[in-house]
Amino acid sequence: GGTVWGCHHPPSTPPLPCLPSLPVLGSLLSLRGDQPLHLRLRELGHRYGPLYALYLGPHYTVVVNSYQHAREVLLQRGKEFAGRPKMVTTELLTRGGKDIAFSDYTPLWKIHRRLVHNSFTLFGEGSSRLQDIVLEAVEALCCDLQASRGQAVDPGPPLMRAVTNVVCTLVFSSTYQPGDPELTSVMEYNDGIVQTIANGGLVDIYPWLRFFPNQTLTRLRDCINIRDTLLNKKLEEHKVSLSVGEPRDLLDALLQGQTGDKQTRGSGVRGQGSRLEEEGICEDHVLMTAAEAFGAGVETTSTTLLWVLAFLLHHPQVQGRVQRELDEVVGCGRSPNVSDRAHLPYLDSVINEVMRIRPVSPVLIPHIALTTSSIGGHSVRKGTRVLVNMWAIHHDPDHWDTPQDFRPERFLDNEGRRITPSCFMPFGAGPRVCVGESLARLELFLFVSGLLQRFSFSPAPGVSLPDLQGRLGVVLQPLRYSLTVTPRPSWGVGAIRLAWFL
């Protein structure tokens, strides 16, 4: 190993170590094997050093495995590396990059991203609407789980349903009962898209493959059609019933083009629409944003929750400690809400430790150098792709003590106060940081606190504990597992007292 050849580095700086590469295939032979990408990229780092290059087919790609280099790419020179490569599957998915995640770094993208960010803020910090939406979904999930009556259940489907409902309510104000055909359809097409994107790999490396019959692309197109029919219907309904004033949901907020700027707020739909159109935000952008809330917001959040439960099954003492903290701070007479969060540092540390040890996005969405820049003192040409391996950073023994161990206390100081190491970046960082971070954090907090206040989770009898290695699709997810849900006695007593009182 260690052969250095075939890399296109500018001659003035030392060449980056590069994996062997062949015409057409590039370095794909070195990436073969059973290991998921994040583990393979980290392992290659042991041979080639923490910063090395490879060819994904024809694409020269730099792999970043360390915090120091990730900080340069995401933060210090964040704007220089804020581009995104065009990929076949994502171009189809986003009507040529009219979304946020896969659009290149352009002036229009900045306006669009700010608009979406402000719309989220409007529902989050501006009002308690977001919290109410999530609490309603927590309530429904608890009823769902209660119905299992001590039988083993797979928590995947009810969690997925709950998080999908949050996004449906947030985006277009629909809330569904389990089994509703529209909800089922949303979950099916979303799952179809996620599966096909995960398998789309080769088409994205060799775009010409799309000219051959390709089952994955056909399935993707079908799912996208179902998605677009539904979202179009919702959009048309919103256009008809849209009024000046507080938006009902994200679609309203996007249609009104509210930028959080008091002067332009509520100044009439028509006027706003044309102002945004002048800037180039069109109906496709609105639709693609709505679609992305599902694509980026459902699988990530529900999978993180599945990891939380999987680790709690392995660490019952951690579950017990979270419950004691909840009992002390919240008690059993009311549901936890965001104002409790400041007083629940241990619960927060558990969520953080889960996102450290199993980041659902172990390799960030590829970045691209928009100009000639540098990483670690090596010159990097414009157009170079960069893969940031967050898994490697979250497991780096130089930054974390026994990184393979699940230890929530690492996010607390000796007095039990929160600490957040800067190399903890489950949502990325810099100009391309996740736009849904505050929504995701709100959901994780309300779901985990609500569930553990009311229930204890234990391994289903006679079934082995969940596998903790997981499988990498579009996100890193645990293999399916089942558990037993037991209502907590204290919560039962609280509920009975309330019933007596009523």
CB atoms within 10 A of CB 471: 13
Asked if residue 440 binds ligand HEM (CB under 6 A), the reply is yes
Asked if residue 297 binds ligand HEM (CB under 6 A), the reply is yes
Asked if residue 293 binds ligand HEM (CB under 6 A), the reply is yes
Q: By the 8 A CB rule, do 30 and 20 touch?
A: yes
Asked if residue 427 binds ligand HEM (CB under 6 A), the reply is yes
Q: By the 8 A CB rule, do 479 and 335 touch?
A: no
- Give the residue nearest to ligand HEM (CB): 436
| Least distance in angstroms from the C-beta of 436 to ligand HEM | 2
At which residue do the structure tokens 């249609």 appear? 255
DSSP string of 346-407, one letter each residue:
HHHHHHHHHHHHS-SSSBPSPEE-SSSEEETTEEE-TT-EEEEBHHHHHT-TTTSSSTTS--
Closest by Cα among 433, 429, 475, 470 to 67: 429
Asked if residue 292 binds ligand HEM (CB under 6 A), the reply is yes
Asked if residue 428 binds ligand HEM (CB under 6 A), the reply is yes
Asked if residue 389 binds ligand HEM (CB under 6 A), the reply is no
Closest by Cα among 302, 394, 401 to 355: 394
- Applying CB under 6 A, among 131, 196, 216, 304 the residue interacting with ligand HEM is 304
Nearer to ligand HEM, 30 or 304 (CB): 304
The residues, any chain, with a CB within 8 Å of residue 482's CB and separated by 6 or more, are 152, 153, 154, 155, 460, 463
Asked if residue 296 binds ligand HEM (CB under 6 A), the reply is yes
Backbone angles phi, psi at 477, to 5 degrees: -125, 150
The residue range among 337-345, 402-410, 421-429, 453-461 that interacts with ligand HEM, by the rule CB under 6 A, is 421-429
| Least distance in angstroms from the C-beta of 382 to ligand HEM | 19
CA dist 264 → 240, 275, 340 (Å):
21, 10, 34
Q: Is 434 labeled as ligand-binding?
A: yes
Asked if residue 361 binds ligand HEM (CB under 6 A), the reply is yes
Asked if residue 442 binds ligand HEM (CB under 6 A), the reply is no
Asked if residue 80 binds ligand HEM (CB under 6 A), the reply is no
Nearer to ligand HEM, 28 or 75 (CB): 75
Asked if residue 364 binds ligand HEM (CB under 6 A), the reply is yes
| Least distance in angstroms from the C-beta of 251 to ligand HEM | 13
Asked if residue 432 binds ligand HEM (CB under 6 A), the reply is yes
Nearer to ligand HEM, 423 or 460 (CB): 423
Q: Which residues are annotated as a binding site?
A: 434
Residues that bind ligand HEM (CB under 6 A): 100-101, 113, 292-293, 296-297, 300-301, 304, 360-361, 364-365, 426-428, 432, 434-436, 439-440
